[in-house]
Structure 1
Amino acid sequence: MNIQRLPWAGIRISSGDFTIAIDPVSRIPEKFGKSREPMYPLEYFGKVDAVLVTHLHDDHFDPAAITATYGASVPVYVPAEVADTARAAGLTNVIGADVGTTYKLGNGVTATAAPSVDGVGDVQIAWIVEGADHRVIHCGDTLWHGYWWKIAQTYGPFHAAFLPVNGAVLELPGRMPSAQPICLTPEQAVSAAAILGAEMLIPIHYGAVHYPPIYTETPDIVPRLTAAAEGKVKLSLLKPTETLAL
């Protein structure tokens, strides 16, 4: 299994001659300011056979880029509750995924929808992908929750866990600020990876966005990850476009 990090929270996974993308996007939404890291068009990374989406926030779901790059008929798996919304965005082969269900994607590759908890209360799932004797998990932009142990017991262990690490704090118009992170902090991500039984933590969802006070990224992410991971889990700091063979 080959892993390539896409911009922001995206991951491209190849197992044999079958390739999927999870949360592929080509831009950072304007409401979060200008990206602090290079963004790449999806065609830069090549075609895929299927797309998995953890949730429909516009920094994880880019239907225009999916359609333009992979075609409107590419299989796109989204949480079942928002499947009609994804179809309304012009995608013609949307599969609504239920938590606990495993989907045969092709060539021995499967994807299982697992629990995840969104930081602003929207519908979100995690994706467990298996192929070529490897198993990985992508948890979108989840915050800390109590499902880690159940996921580990039911589906683990994992060769790699893709977890958000930027502990972002939001101040959105019309909502009372909480001052609480809406996704995992570096220390929480390490703890989650350890509970999941992951051999390796590959951090996602950090670096590109810091737009106070609307979106404030937690400071010192890499040194905090490095310190927290010591003796607990292997840390692989893939940059966007970099690849790794499991």
Structure 2
Amino acid sequence: MEIQKLNWAGIKLTSQNKTILIDAVEDFSYYKPVLGDALEKLIVFSDEVQADYILFTHMHLDHFDKSIIEKCLKKDGKLIVYSGLEHFVRKYAENVEMIVLNLNETFTENNITFKPVYAMDGVGEVQSSWIVEDQETKIFHGGDTIWHNQFWKIGKENQHIDYAFLPVNGVVVNFEVIGLEYSPVPASLNLKEAFAAAHLLHAGKLVPVHYGLFAHEKFYVPQLFDDKDLKETSEKIGQAYFILKDGEVLIDS
């Protein structure tokens, strides 16, 4: 399996000559008032990527970009959707083949298996995590989940996860402008929680996502960390990690 890190939480998987996109986003402009400007140059991938399968963890527009469906999904491609999101997705995806799965239900095609598992969104909206595996590699993608009590169970029921893509920015959001009361509690995993979650998932390596690209001093305040923090947290929890920068490719075989 070949894995490319895209913008923010997005990844592109290539396996069995098939291309899979998870939480792939190019256009963050709708959230600019609360996220601010991107702090690094965004990757434009839609000009060259044609996907056989597109997945997303939830409907926040920094994880769900309907234009990617229009630009990147092949004519015979499939959206693979957690059933809790089906009625939302159908509003944006007409005349597209959709595979709808309940939590812990699997769909296998071309020797690639897809499985949505439990996740918890930081502001109470519907979300799932995804497990995708081929004959060599198994990955877990956690969207922007917060800490929850199912990591133990998921780890026991889904053995041999090679890479856990988990948010690490532990962001505190102030979205009163859209009607949500302010809370000082982080709306995504922080660094320590992500390492602990990867450990409970028995993942070979944590791959941090959902950090570094956006910050807003009033509305979107991430917890900052550096290489020293990564190393110290890894050693303390006993969980290996791998940094994959936007645009970089990891080939696992």
TM over 0.5: yes
Calculate the TM-score normalised by the size of structure 2.
0.91
The answer for the alignment partner of 2:167 in structure 1 is 164
Q: Structure 1: which amino acid aligns with 2:214?
A: V
1:221 is displaced (CA, Å) by 4.8
Gaps of 5+ in 2: none
For 2:248 and 2:41, locate their aligned partners in 1 and report how far apart those are by CA, in whole Å. 13
Instruction: Check if 1:23 corresponds to 2:23.
Output: yes
For 1:144 and 1:225, locate their aligned partners in 2 and report how far apart those are by CA, in whole Å. 18
The answer for the alignment partner of 2:250 in structure 1 is 244
1:178 to 183, 187, 197: 183
Instruction: Check if 1:230 corresponds to 2:229.
Output: no
Partner SS for 1:42: coil
Instruction: Map 1:13-92; keep pairs closer than 5 Å.
Output: 13-28=13-28, 29-31=31-33, 32-44=35-47, 46-71=49-74, 74-91=77-94, 92=96
For 2:48 and 2:166, locate their aligned partners in 1 and report how far apart those are by CA, in whole Å. 21
1:73 is displaced (CA, Å) by 5.9
For 1:39 and 1:100, locate their aligned partners in 2 and report how far apart those are by CA, in whole Å. 33
Deviations 1:167-226 (A, max 9, x none): 000001232211010110001100111111111111000011101211111122543222
Please identify runs of 4+ aligned residues in structure 1 that moved more than 6 A. Answer: none
Q: Which moved more, 1:64-73 or 1:81-90?
A: 64-73
The answer for the alignment partner of 2:121 in structure 1 is 118
The answer for the alignment partner of 2:99 in structure 1 is 95
**For the structure 1 residues 45 and 185, does the alpha-carbon distance in structure 2 shift closer, same or farther, using more than 3 Å as the test?**
farther
**For the structure 1 residues 166 and 98, does the alpha-carbon distance in structure 2 shift closer, same or farther, using more than 3 Å as the test?**
same
Calculate the TM-score normalised by the size of structure 1.
0.94
User: How many residues are matched?
Assistant: 245
Deviations 1:30-55 (A, max 9, x none): 23111112212232552221011111
1:84 is displaced (CA, Å) by 2.2
Computed over aligned residues only, the root mean square deviation of the Cα atoms, in angstroms, reads 1.6
Partner SS for 1:49: strand
The answer for the alignment partner of 1:205 in structure 2 is 210
**For the structure 1 residues 109 and 220, does the alpha-carbon distance in structure 2 shift closer, same or farther, using more than 3 Å as the test?**
same
